[in-house]
Amino acid sequence: MLEKKDFEKIGKVMGEKIFSIEKNLKEEIKKEVEDLAVMTKKGFDEVGKRFDKMDKEVVKIRATMVTKSYLDDKMADLRGDTVAIQRKEDEKFHPVRYLLFQKITPIR
């Protein structure tokens, strides 16, 4: 049968083993957490670079983008130019049409 000193010896050995395991486990956990922190930081740095690149692209797009009012003005100008060209064509064509009509239509 085991005596009290045997139990004390077993307790001491078990305590040392548990302390050793606990210490190693803490070190492993600390290392894994540090590795995870480094990977997370690298990931966020990459995301930051992507956002910086996107910001530059948005600035380019905004610089070349037309506004609705600008586009409306240009469309109105184009329509006005088109109407003016049609009127000039009509002014040139109307006398020719009139002459042709006079030659085709018999005089009554």
The pLDDT of residue 47 is 93
- Go through 45-75 and write b for each residue having 16 or more CB atoms within 10 A of its CB, e for each that does not: eeeeeeeeeeeeeeeeeeeeeeeeeeeeeee
How far apart (Å, rounded) are the C-alpha atoms in residues 55 and 104?
70
Question: Residue 37: pLDDT above 80?
Answer: yes
The pLDDT of residue 97 is 85
Question: Residue 107: pLDDT above 70?
Answer: no
